[in-house]
């Protein structure tokens, strides 16, 4: 089934699509583009009525809504939308490569993702791996949150697929927002800034880091303010066990992340480092005493230097492991690679590292 067949079916549903066009690009696949001369801010671009939503049916209790949709996608043979989905590549590329050589933070998140994937796989055994994988990622990459008004608060029970809406690509500087309008019972896309003719329509899926985008969707962004970098491992090298226990007792341990969009270190990180210079009078809520401030600044530098060394070491190991694949890229023109979105698979590690490397070095003054 090709795009034209899908679009002619979709047009027969009566939805007004006069403001948008579907077209394909090599970097982000299909997407929606404006076909109006100029779209003003706060303009209703597209309205998709509820009768088009594909919702989970919940006729077997031990499956989540997500899993019901997997089965629906695999069983439904006539729906033109599902037929079209079968022709779209939706499986993140990393699934085809061995992934034990990635940096630890990526591996940890991949494991969580794979655990969830396998939980569903083990409940739905009647399809082969390829079929299951296609259905799983079609839903994972395309579904939207939708309150099913059942008793479950589980997000896997409150989602649906909305044909056509699912052509919209993600951006950290989106030009639209989309939301369900309970009065019109439609999912609507509104402009949040003016949009030129042929400009791509985008919204923010979620404030996802590159690691999350890479795992869940198979792409990354070269400038992503939502990149985050967990520093637990570095703190374990920097603080004593007793100091770590103090941080944990205040529930600070899970809040120890750098965000690449932030200009400064967070309060929790500053307080964690401060423990290293003054444990006896430490309180998580007070500013460091003026006497300690100078010392604290030096401790910060020391800590950031440690992170920098760890990143360099990890990165060096990673380059060695990927030497054959990345030889030319890494040694010929590293910076160009950062902006070349056609290299999806390994670039995420490079960009994520470079991001934090830059962030950390900018803090060491």
Ligand X SMILES: C[S@@+](CC[C@H](N)C(=O)[O-])C[C@H]1O[C@@H](n2cnc3c(N)ncnc32)[C@H](O)[C@@H]1O
Question: What residues line the site for ligand X (CB under 6 A)?
Answer: 27-31, 88, 141-142, 166-167, 169-171, 217-219
Closer residue to ligand X in complex, CB, 23/308: 23
Residues with Cβ within 8 Å of residue 330, at least 6 apart in sequence: 319, 337, 350
CB of 205 to ligand X, least distance (A): 8
C-beta separation of 50 from 109 below 8 A: no
What the block records as the tokens of 274 is 């401060």
CB of 139 to ligand X, least distance (A): 10
- Find where tokens 């031990």 sit: 62
CB of 177 to ligand X, least distance (A): 15
Closer residue to ligand X in complex, CB, 167/303: 167
Query: How far apart, in whole angstroms, are the C-alpha atoms of residue 217 and residue 204?
Result: 13
Buried (b) or exposed (e) across 114-129, using 16+ Cβ within 10 A? eeebeebbeebeebee
Q: What is the DSSP string of 244-298?
A: HHHHHHTT-GGG-EEETT-SS--HHHHHHHHHTT-STT--TTSPPPHHHHHHHHH
C-beta separation of 34 from 199 below 8 A: yes
Residue 79's CB is within 10 A of a number of other CB atoms, namely 14
Closer residue to ligand X in complex, CB, 179/293: 179
Closer residue to ligand X in complex, CB, 79/171: 171
CB of 346 to ligand X, least distance (A): 16
CB of 44 to ligand X, least distance (A): 20
Closer residue to ligand X in complex, CB, 25/237: 25
Closer residue to ligand X in complex, CB, 99/308: 99
Query: How far apart, in whole angstroms, are the C-alpha atoms of residue 303 and residue 356?
Result: 14
Closer residue to ligand X in complex, CB, 84/318: 84
CB of 141 to ligand X, least distance (A): 4
Kindly state the helix (H) or strand (E) to which residue 328 belongs, with its residue range.
helix 323-332
CB of 48 to ligand X, least distance (A): 14
Q: What is the DSSP string of 2-39?
A: -HHHHHHHHHTTT---TTEEEEEETTTEEEEEE-SSEE
Position of minimal CB gap to ligand X: 29
- Find where tokens 């040694």 sit: 331
CB of 152 to ligand X, least distance (A): 24
C-beta separation of 53 from 161 below 8 A: yes
Closer residue to ligand X in complex, CB, 167/226: 167
Closer residue to ligand X in complex, CB, 162/296: 162
Instruction: Burial-class residue 34 by CB neighbours within 10 Å (0-12, 13-18, 19+).
Output: buried
């Amino acid at each position: 089934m090709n795009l034209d067949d899908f679009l002619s079916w979709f047009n027969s549903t009566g939805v007004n699509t006069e403001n948008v066009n579907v077209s394909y690009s090599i970097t982000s696949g299909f997407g929606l583009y404006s076909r109006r001369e100029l779209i003003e801010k706060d303009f209703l671009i597209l309205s998709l009525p509820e009768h088009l939503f594909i919702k989970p049916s919940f006729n077997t209790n031990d499956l989540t809504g997500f899993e019901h949709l997997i089965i629906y996608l695999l069983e439904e043979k006539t729906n033109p939308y599902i037929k079209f989905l079968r022709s779209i590549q939706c499986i993140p590329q990393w699934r085809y490569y061995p992934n034990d050589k990635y940096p630890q933070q990526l591996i940890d998140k991949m494991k969580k993702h794979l655990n969830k994937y396998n939980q569903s796989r083990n409940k739905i055994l009647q399809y082969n791996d390829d079929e299951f994988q296609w259905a799983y990622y079609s839903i994972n990459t395309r579904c939207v949150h939708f309150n099913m008004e059942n008793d479950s608060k589980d997000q896997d029970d409150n989602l649906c697929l909305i044909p056509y809406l699912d052509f919209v690509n993600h951006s950290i500087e989106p030009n639209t927002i989309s939301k369900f309008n309970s009065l019109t019972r439609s999912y609507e896309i509104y402009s949040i800034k003016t949009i030129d003719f042929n400009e791509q329509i985008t919204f923010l899926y979620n404030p996802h880091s590159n690691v999350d985008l890479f795992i869940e969707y198979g792409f990354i962004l070269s400038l992503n303010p939502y990149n985050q970098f967990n520093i637990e491992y570095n703190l374990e090298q920097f603080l004593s066990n007793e100091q770590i226990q103090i941080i944990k007792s205040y529930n600070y341990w899970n809040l120890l992340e750098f965000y690449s969009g932030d200009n400064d270190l967070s309060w929790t990180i500053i307080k964690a480092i401060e423990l290293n210079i003054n444990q006896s009078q430490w309180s998580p809520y007070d500013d460091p005493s003026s006497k300690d401030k100078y010392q604290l600044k030096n401790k910060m530098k020391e800590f950031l230097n440690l992170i920098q060394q760890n990143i360099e070491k990890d990165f060096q190991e990673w380059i060695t492991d990927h030497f054959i694949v990345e030889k030319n890229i890494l040694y010929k023109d590293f910076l160009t690679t950062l902006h070349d979105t056609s290299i999806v698979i390994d670039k995420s590690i490079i960009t994520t590292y470079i991001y934090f490397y830059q962030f950390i070095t900018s803090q060491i003054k």
